[in-house]
Structure formats: structure tokens, C-alpha cells
Amino acid sequence: MWKVALLQMNIAFGDPKTNFEQVENFFTKAVKKKVDTIILPEMWSTGYELTRLDDIADEEGEETLYFLYSLAKKYHVNIVGGSIAKRSNGKVTNTMFVLNKKGELVKEYSKAHLFRLMDEEKYLVEGNSDGLFELEGETCAGVICYDIRFPEWIRMHMTQEAKVLFVVAEWPKPRINHWRNLLISRAIENQCYVVACNRVGSDPNNVFGGQSIIVDPWGNVKAEGDEEEQILYGEIDFNQVDEVRKKIPVFTDRRTDLYKL
């Protein structure tokens, strides 16, 4: 069983220095609860200040990786590092880093589905790899915000025996009911835990809804945030995933002769 902490934070628009300081402060509070894994929101270092990415994107993610490495080592926690704007070879991706308790990078995933309503396709390039990774012997998956509207993408990861879906987001308040309903649906249909960290606050163009959430494999909400900055805590029981998948054998009963996934 893991204890997780979701850092539901406001993000300073286009101000990496302030955001790095905020995250470090959140960590000092979260680790007092002796958590195993800490999750950050999407684009936590810059927010959606896409027009200035030439100046504020992290070159090869080096600053972020060193920062997260230092926190993982210092506090002996796994980190699902939300996502950041990573510049590589002149192109910028919306990229998640996952580190284990030793500070080792175990996964780098770039957002596969760019969200046109927030102009991502104008400034970012899409990723082309899956979000699967392993932490402490458990198979997990990580996706970013808009990705959850593509159930076939999530199911592909779950057919690889992932038991937890980590979601990081900057999900706007006007569609926050979609956020909640989609996440509960992804948990039920895939019989997995969904651990989803959203931001709060606003930027010049959007107001964000918070409501970070932890959902168990039955679709029960185990913890849920509100619209304020907070640290949301919860537990993941991997044995429950096995029990649910045995009781209703969805993966065994799939008709792969009729559909590929």
C-alpha cells in the first residue's frame, strides 16, 4: 500500500523561480505525513505562458530534473513530476518526469494529445511514446490532462497490467464536471486506481477548477479536493486492484477478435 500526496497548487504565470520555490515549500509539508509518492500538476513551472516558451522552457529539462532529483533523494519519495515545458532541439514538449526514491529517472512522457482550446498545438509538439513505468515493482501509467478524453489511449496502458493511472492537469473550471466524470469512468472501466492532480487559481485566460481526486477500482472517490490550494492525501491498495479484476474479469472477457484493444 502506498500513501500519496497531491500538490494542488496555484501556479505563478510565466514565473519558474516562484513556482520552484512553491513546490519546495509544498514538499516540506507533504513529507511530514510520511508519504511514499508525491504528484505535481501539469506545467507547474511556467503555467500556460506559451508565448514566452523561448525564454522560460527548460532546456532538456535539466533544471527540473536536478530539482526533482534533489527532492526525491532528500525526502526519499517517489515523484510523479507533473509536467513542464521541455525544450529539445528547438522544439518544446509538455513533458512529465517520474523519479523513484533514489532520485533515478524511471520515465519521461510527453503529452500525446495537444489541446487546441488552449493553443497547445501552436507552441508545442506532441509526444510519441506511452506513459508506462514501474515504481517499487508496481506497473503504473502517467498521462496529462486532455489525454483522459481518449479512453483507447488509457486502455492501451491498462492492457499492460498497469494498476494506477496518474493524471496531471491544468483543467479549467467551466468543464470541471467533465474532469470528475471522466476520471471516475476511467477507474471503473479499467479497474484501476486513478490519482489525478489538478491546479487551482487562474491565469490571464483561464480559471482552473482544482478538485484533485483519488478514485479506487470500484469507482469510489477516496479523496477529493476543493478549489483552494491544498495537499490531498490518500492510499493506494494494490491488492484491491487484483481483487476487482478477478471478480469482474473485464480484461479476460474483451473481444479482441472484434477490436484491437
Output the nine-digit C-alpha cell for 44: 507547474
Q: Of these residues, 140, 145, 192, 197, which one is catalytic? A: 145
Give the ranges where 53-138 is alpha helix by DSSP (H). Answer: 53-56, 62-75, 120-123
136 is catalytic: no
Q: Of these residues, 108, 111, 163, 170, which one is catalytic? A: 111
Using CA atoms, how far apart are residues 153 and 233, in angstroms rounded to an integer? 27
Proportion of the chain in helix, strand, coil states, percent, rounded to 5: 35, 30, 35
The answer for residues whose C-beta is within 8 angstroms of residue 224's C-beta and 6 or more apart is 211, 212, 213, 214, 232
| DSSP label of 77 | -
Query: What is the β-pairing status of strands 132-135 and 105-110?
Result: unpaired
Asked if 7 and 23 touch (Cβ cutoff 8 Å), the reply is yes
42 is catalytic: yes
145 is catalytic: yes
Q: Of these residues, 42, 108, 120, 170, which one is catalytic? A: 42
Known catalytic residues?
Answer: 42, 111, 145
